[in-house]
A and B are shown apart, each in its own frame.
Chain A
């Protein structure tokens, strides 16, 4: 055949722009079987993938040495780069030109492999980029041309704007389709487009198709190379969450977390601002919540927090939005009165006290007690900070004046809380009081100490307000851990008593009222006369009343048994000298006048 070599050269020199090695091999094997009568062909790529033809069921693995009894052509492709290997077998010997033609062909194959590689890398990069753009969270990306036609629209754009990709792609933006605002924003860019290499940054709100506004930070970039800008890309960062966080942060930085009132920082800044702007300020009121520490220590911080919230509610309800109501300390509140006169300040202070009283009438179980001080601006140039100091001083004076009754009120409140909680002690305190007084008189104890004994009878178990219900009301035997917790009520009661001037004298007795004569009591293990007499008296009366009184889970014991028990424990739990006296003075046959109620 004439011009065979030329014809083959043409065929071998041309390579289609194959995208994959599979396509290349398909063409390669067809060409080689036709042009060179190839019997078997192998193309190995990068030592990893092997393409073969004519091997039937024989496995051809990468790197495997191939043997043949026929004519073979083999070439390492891209020697420097270890691109792969080409192997071809035919039956007849090679004609003169064939090896040379195959050399030329292999160069073409190398070139094609490199191109395929580059294309695949480009494709991968494109895909990665496309995926990135398509799925960028919090980044709405859309592209448009100089006519306002949408070229791409990613998922976040769908979320932010409310339009699906299918609705937007290829569409020229009109007010009817997307709403006027989106159209206007797009036109804004087209009327003043960024130049090549520039970008526009905008911050504002966008309106979606459902009428919701979202805060975004937008970047508009030109696309299309240096000399030709006919496409634009807009990227909107959804700032809504950040705006919300910013708002929350602003709120948190100026407000008290618990009560929602302004905090001290804000209050002081406002004072400075008013001072600097010479704005009107009618006066300042300062309030202090009395006994908060006692409540926190005895009833828990949640009870204390409730009180604070109640105070905040009272104050907020009494003043206008123009006045600044703030929590300026742990238990301290302040009100900055704007544009009121001194008379109004006085009235406002009284209103606070009245509101507190009104509150206590409605919620007597946990009454609040407020000490209020105020300072009105008499002179126009009076410094606001001085007003605050004056109001604070006034408040402190009031607090001092009220302290005695404040604390008493708190202690009474605690006793009521304990009684309300522990129904088994209903009447118990009164009975105890009469029994201990009777025995004390028998012992010729002075009257002032009898007064303290009365207090002891009433408040010896005050520490139980700090115990959990499941321990306090557990009918079964307490576990060792629960017993330990229960015994803490002595110490708790001691601290409570220390906080009240009325109860300070009996604090030590409260602490030791569970000691035993023989030293096996708690919390200190005192014995004999080291235990205060008042504690020894109370112990007998307390045990007597506990045994003889009914409980939810048992009836009270008969008097004879109680007496027998007291005698039995005389010398161990009880003072052996006091038990007979107690029995003689307090216990009478049924029906007698002296029988305890």
Chain B
């Protein structure tokens, strides 16, 4: 178990920003950090990895202290045993894919590297240099490079944001496979509800530098009454009046769909909102 209680304040122009993260993370769990940009998600991961230092507090990982301001303990990133996937991939341009991976290993284990390349389907590209890879390929290399030294804690900083839909799916598959194979405690930042649902067992919602809510991904919608069998997160693209009801056009995954809503319901909604659509699955039509 990882216990965290850390504080850090920044001065951003004239604004004083205070971050206070207090939470616990279960071993081998996969956690989503969810929140708007600027809420402090990246800072949280950087503080955990040691790339930034909290002002006060402690980080305890299975009774090993990584940081404690009272005891004046602060392990450098090198000693923290984390795997960090950066938003801009951060692959070393002077090394081929396989050399990037070898550089990451402490003890040489070529079989393990080949196994990783297999998982993310990059075996053929191992002698290519990063500048010859596509965005999705780079991201997958970054992913397995961070895994190559078998870290205790696996941190992904918005690993998905620069990728298109099918690449995201592929990367999510990779993360899922990696987690199933190696069971590392994983924290990933995401803006995307479907991603959070698909990958994570726990979610932490960050707002203004604090973790305001945590639990299973269902807490995103704070609606325990729903018992529907089909649940989808959807983005509202259009709200249109049709006679006495309203037609809402929704984007679910990459599919468009339309649902009806009453005036009272529509009053609470705006285009661009993310909502949960649920239906009881009494008689679905299944087309194969």
Partners in one complex: no
